[in-house]
Amino acid sequence: MSTVSETPTLTTEARGAGHPTDDRTEQQSTARRSARTRRAGKRLVYHLAVLALVVVILYPAVWMLMSSFKPSSDIIGNINVIPETWTFDNYTKAFGGIAGISFWTFFKNSLILAVASVVGVVLSATVSAYAFARIDFPGRGVFFAIMIGTLLLPFHVVIIPQYIIFNNLGLVNSFWPLLLGKFLAAEAFFVFLMVQFMRNLPRELDEAARIDGAGHVRIFRSIMLPLMRPAIITSSIFAFIWSWNDFLGPLLYLKQPDLYSLPIALRIYVDQTSVSDYGAQMAMAVLALIPVLLFFIAFQRYIVAGVATQGLKG
């Protein structure tokens, strides 16, 4: 009986529950109702299980947020997640910055780096992807293979020669070492992503344009760029978030306090403040994460789709 009643239950549910149906006997509808409650019960258990997992996963983030509103003495050794006394002192301290340099300086540095990274990646990756996907130049296969090769290579191999080069150029303590690679399409991941995307665009489009007398520049600007929108958006989001979270790069190249990006400032802050001042650390950690979280909330559809299809890492 129960297996038989599955199907009608499904269809009524799809039509909207509580729909009056034609000639059902008392018996049938009781069976249907009990089947429905059983299914609802199962669904409830399922959602409760998933929600329990959600709580576990979100716990550290919630703990961080709540702790940032607690007096430092309540963060350690106090199990309550909700602050017993709410305070904004931590934020006042965090905005005060380090050694006379305001929080907003670090914020501004991080923002400049992130926005410039996005611009650099979008400009260089789209152009070089166009070259790889649409122009038949000698050695294309070899260059493409080399580019893919750099993807698999641990980036720690290049940091030392890179550092020496930038050091010799006198560019340490400037943003250039962190941005140059992005403007020169050295970020193979984005180039790869865009090449893959561009290869799926119908070639008839550019052939039609070519017959109409358009050159590469024209085809790229008027046909490719508009069609590449989804790939550009995905790349921009990840370029921003990676740059924002980057720690090793700024750690190597930015040694002047007024050039620090947020992660570096945060690290100095942790080293400087006494161990017990967790409150201010938490407040600053929250502030540093807010832009990433806003990005995530705004673009989560693109982000999750990007991960699912391209294996992009967060």
Partner 1 sequence: MLASLYLAFTDYNLFRDPQWIGLENFQRLFDDPRFIQSSKVTAIYVLVGTPVKLVAALAVAMLLNVASRGQGAYRSIFYAPSLIGASVSIAIVWKAMFSDDGIVDTVQQFFGFGPGGWVGDPSMTMPMMILLAVWQFGAPMVIFLAGLKQVPAELYEAASVDGAGPVRKFLRITLPMLSPVIFFNLLLETINAFQVFSSAFIISGGTGGPAGSTLFYTLYLYIKGFTDFQMGYASAMAWVLVVVVGIITAIFFKTSKTWVHYSGEAK
Q: Which residue number, 167 or 222, has a Cβ lying nearer to partner 1?
A: 167
Distance CA 273, CA 98 (A): 10
Provide the minimum distance between the beta carbon of 144 and partner 1 in the complex, in angstroms, as a whole number.
17
CB of 107 to partner 1, least distance (A): 13
Taken in order 116, 121, 122, 123, the sign of the CA dihedral is positive
- What is d(CA 216, CA 225) in angstroms, rounded to the nearest whole number? 12
Instruction: State in angstroms the smallest separation of the CB of 286 from partner 1.
Output: 7
Q: How far is the CB of 197 from partner 1 (least distance, A)?
A: 17
Judged by the rule CB under 8 A, the positions of this chain that interact with partner 1 are: 43, 46-47, 49-50, 53-54, 57-58, 60-61, 63-64, 67, 75-79, 152-161, 163-165, 167, 241, 245, 247-248, 251-252, 262-263, 266-267, 270-271, 275, 278, 281-282, 285-286, 288-289, 292-293, 296, 300, 303-304, 307-309, 311-314
Select 4 or 76, whichever has its Cβ closest to partner 1: 76
* Sequence-separated (6 or more) residues with CB below 8 Å from residue 163: 172, 177, 252, 253
Closer of 220 and 238 to partner 1 (Cβ): 238
* Distance between CA atoms of residues 109 and 299, nearest Å: 23
Classify 99 in phi/psi space as left (phi over 0), alpha (psi -120 to 50) or beta: left
Q: With CA atoms as reference, report the closest residue to 32 among 55, 13, 58, 52.
A: 13
**Closest CB to partner 1 among 9 and 28?**
9
Least Å distance between CB 298 and partner 1?
A: 12
Nearest approach, Cβ of residue 41 and partner 1 (Å): 14
Which CB, 62 or 135, lies closer to partner 1? 62
Specify the residue, 135 or 248, whose C-beta has the smaller distance to partner 1. 248
Question: Which distant-in-sequence residues (6+ apart) come within 8 Å of 90 by Cβ?
Answer: 68, 69, 70, 72, 279, 280, 282, 283
The pair of structure tokens assigned to 251 is 């750690």
